[in-house]
Amino acid sequence: MTNPNWFRTSYRRNLVDMHIEDWNPEFLSQFDPDKYYENLVRAHVKSPMIYLQSHVGHCNWDTKSGHRHQSFTDCTKKMQRLFDLCHQGGMDVVAYYSLIYNNDAYVAHPEWRLLDINGHGTRFDTGKGQYFGGSRYGLCCPNNLGYRDFVLKQLDEIFDLFTLEGIFLDMLFWTRPCYCDACKARWKAEHGGDIPTIINWNDPTWRAFQAKREEWMQDFAMMVTNKIKSRNPNCSVEHQFSTMMHGWRQGVNQNISIASDYCGGDFYGGAPQHSVACKLYYNMTANQPFEYMTSRCYPGLREHTTTKTEDMLRLSVMSTLAHHGAALLIDAIDPKGTLDSRLYDTYGKIYADAEKLEPYMEGKLVQDVQVLFNLEGKYNPDVNNVAVGTPRAADDSSPHTNAVMGACRSLQQMHIPFGVFSNWKPEKAEGAKVIVLADAYDLPQNAVEYVEKFVSDGGSLYMSGRVNPELVQKLTGIRLDGAFQAPMTYMAPTADGQPLFTDHNRDYPFAVTCGLQKMVMPNNFHGTVLATTVLPYDPPAQNGELHPDPSDGFDYTAPNARFASIHSNPPGRFTDIPSLIKTTYGQGTVVYSAAAFEMLDRPATAPLFANIMSLLIGTRQWSFASNAPQQVEIIEFEASEKNRRYINLINSQDSFQIPAICDFDVSVKLDAAPSQILSLPDETPLPFIYENGYATFHVAKLPICNFYAVEI
């Protein structure tokens, strides 16, 4: 039996992509398990993830149920040799297996295919192979009984031949609504009728279909997890969960986390995405540490010979460690089966430094502000009543996701301790000083009830934009009457709100390009109006140009034919309609903003958002503070059993070379002066001062990451 706890102490992982076909006898012909293993040793890898199969479907073992990779000679023996070498070297082996994405199965069994509304499989694609969802990639439907049976047989073969600590199952998501016979039959049996064809978030049948897609994906994932556990209960299961914040189309909510021992997935979005994904994983995973994967290729896996700089790889690994997550770097094999050992020398430098920090991976993440991510809100309410299969239906935008990312960006830049939690487990926000609902439309009832009680019991809440109107009305008395129909709106501070707005004032109000809700105030409103709504000048009643020239094709009667200023829509109509208010509910405090302005990446956004957060916590104080530049991210863990705090600093500049950030202070809130503050991992004591409840130390230089321990 294998060690069921291997992943709890494993922070240095790697994966080598091997999606290689076999039509050329050269392909994978030079795969050498000893050389592969030497690279792992050189890279200081603790837990390699190794391909037993790929999106191509070819199996790297002598399979009976599928297609063995023809040019990868002696593949079973070579893979067993590699696994044995890793085990002898004290490494944990995780097997890679691609679900749904399987070209062999797609070709051999047309009846297994995932089909779009026109009955086309995924290799039917006008994108000519450039689109990730199609053409090169053959997808099988997880509802197809034949495919499900095939997957179970493949897993049995793997366990008959290999000893492994864990399995990673890739590609557990839908790329589109499936209209195959298996899905049609299952929908008819479980719901009745035909699968809906109009995306309409107000239609109960469409919503039921989306819920079924999530449920079916969980059912498929659980079938695989249960099979693996039946062969080895100690074998860890991780399903691909980079999809956590992707659009509704993928049918992923908490379903993948439920089927996994720990959360993990691959990301390519740079430092801001890294920061948010780690924090959401932290609150979504069944067990710590979560796993954060990214490629050594730049900008992504499409460029096989372009590699990230050492600075970029180090930033990626250390950002994960700063969140106490496990880092995984993805390489891609050369078609002939070789690896570039120079890369593993670079990994080795970074992972050797990471290894020294592993003893400090303990404690709980400090999350003064908790930003809610609604796993059921990954769609755009403005793209509604659209037929599946039309170009508009391909819209994958989610204003809620943008608003969450924006709120987190502001909190990170202003050095306010924060976390990200989901509607699935709202209780993860327990202990937070402030909850943020950023354009959080369509919040499920359990989350609404949690938030209401949180505020009623004395918590503080920030809400913005289209958050459930019933919740806004209950907590503030204000009724929302839809968004202003204007090309641009503004938030103008009142005298009470002016201190929040820094450079913006009534004459030069804060510009909003993301929609602003119209508040209808109750007669007995007992709160404070912090900002009002300003609209652009109305076009003149006589709309058309004075001297139109019909021959040039321009519509001289269009609403925007007349304007105040040709490049912009400056503020013109100053209303008394509030756009930002503060009030109380029960024992708690609420701020509602009619615009989810936090999604706008503007110079004034972060200061305004931080000032609102400070207004919400009142006389309480943040767990840390800093005068560091916005590019510094600060993460704190509290290890109360050891009377220790960990302060981790990340230089989150996304560039090939990362310049150091110098000369700033970090202050940690403590009830009494600490005994010492240590620089990690060498544990060198640092000078500090303790005053006003904060211990403050100076950071002379932050190259890419610095780690500290505060001993109480």
Binding interface with Zn ion (CB under 5 A): 141, 143, 178, 180, 183
CB atoms closer than 10 angstroms to residue 355: 14
**How near is the Cβ of 113 to Zn ion at its closest, in Å?**
8
472 and 496 in contact (C-beta within 8 Å)? no
CB nearer to Zn ion: pick between 183 and 393 = 183
Residue 52 to residues 79, 154, 573: CA-CA distances in angstroms? 8, 10, 65
**How near is the Cβ of 151 to Zn ion at its closest, in Å?**
15
Nearest C-alpha neighbor of 516 from the set 592, 585, 589, 568: 592
CB nearer to Zn ion: pick between 94 and 141 = 141
Q: Which three-class secondary structure state does DSSP give residue 91?
A: coil
Residue 357 to residues 81, 316, 366: CA-CA distances in angstroms? 31, 15, 19
Instruction: Compute the distance between CA of residue 477 and CA of residue 583 in angstroms, rounded to an integer.
Output: 10
Instruction: Compute the distance between CA of residue 461 and CA of residue 106 in angstroms, rounded to an integer.
Output: 49
Instruction: Output the DSSP codes for 182-235.
Output: HHHHHHHHHT-SPPP-EE-TT-HHHHHHHHHHHHHHHHHHHHHHHHHHHH-TTS
**How near is the Cβ of 177 to Zn ion at its closest, in Å?**
9
- 26-54: b or e for each residue (b if 16 or more CB lie within 10 Å)? ebbeebebeebbebbebbbbbbbbbbbbb
One-letter amino acid of 210: Q
Question: Angle at Cα 325 formed by Cα 323 and Cα 327, nearest 5°?
Answer: 120
CB nearer to Zn ion: pick between 143 and 154 = 143
Nearest C-alpha neighbor of 101 from the set 64, 58, 130: 58
**How near is the Cβ of 147 to Zn ion at its closest, in Å?**
9
CB nearer to Zn ion: pick between 71 and 143 = 143
Instruction: Compute the distance between CA of residue 453 and CA of residue 287 in angstroms, rounded to an integer.
Output: 27
Contacts of 305 (CB under 8 A, 6+ apart): none
**How near is the Cβ of 179 to Zn ion at its closest, in Å?**
7
**How near is the Cβ of 178 to Zn ion at its closest, in Å?**
3
**How near is the Cβ of 694 to Zn ion at its closest, in Å?**
57
Q: Which tokens belong to 249?
A: 């189309």
Instruction: Compute the distance between CA of residue 416 and CA of residue 622 in angstroms, rounded to an integer.
Output: 7
3-state secondary structure 279-304: HHHHHHCCCCCCEEEEECECCCCCCC
Q: Which three-class secondary structure state does DSSP give residue 483?
A: strand
Instruction: Compute the distance between CA of residue 256 and CA of residue 258 in angstroms, rounded to an integer.
Output: 5
CB nearer to Zn ion: pick between 18 and 141 = 141
Q: Which three-class secondary structure state does DSSP give residue 561?
A: helix
CB nearer to Zn ion: pick between 183 and 330 = 183
CB nearer to Zn ion: pick between 112 and 344 = 112
CB nearer to Zn ion: pick between 180 and 463 = 180
Rg of the chain over CA atoms, in angstroms?
27
* Omega of the bond leading into 289 within 30 degrees of 0 (cis): yes
Length of the chain: 712
CB nearer to Zn ion: pick between 148 and 308 = 148
**How near is the Cβ of 180 to Zn ion at its closest, in Å?**
3
**How near is the Cβ of 15 to Zn ion at its closest, in Å?**
29
**How near is the Cβ of 157 to Zn ion at its closest, in Å?**
25
β-pairing, 386-387 with 198-199?
Answer: antiparallel
**How near is the Cβ of 399 to Zn ion at its closest, in Å?**
29
**How near is the Cβ of 102 to Zn ion at its closest, in Å?**
14
CB nearer to Zn ion: pick between 196 and 406 = 196
**How near is the Cβ of 114 to Zn ion at its closest, in Å?**
5
Helices (H), 580-682: 605-617
529 and 494 in contact (C-beta within 8 Å)? yes
CB nearer to Zn ion: pick between 34 and 111 = 111
CB nearer to Zn ion: pick between 193 and 553 = 193
One-letter amino acid of 398: S
**How near is the Cβ of 115 to Zn ion at its closest, in Å?**
7
Q: Which tokens belong to 340?
A: 């570039």
**How near is the Cβ of 189 to Zn ion at its closest, in Å?**
13
CB nearer to Zn ion: pick between 178 and 317 = 178
CA 706 to chain centre: 24
CB nearer to Zn ion: pick between 180 and 516 = 180
Contacts of 343 (CB under 8 A, 6+ apart): 296, 307, 331
CB nearer to Zn ion: pick between 141 and 404 = 141
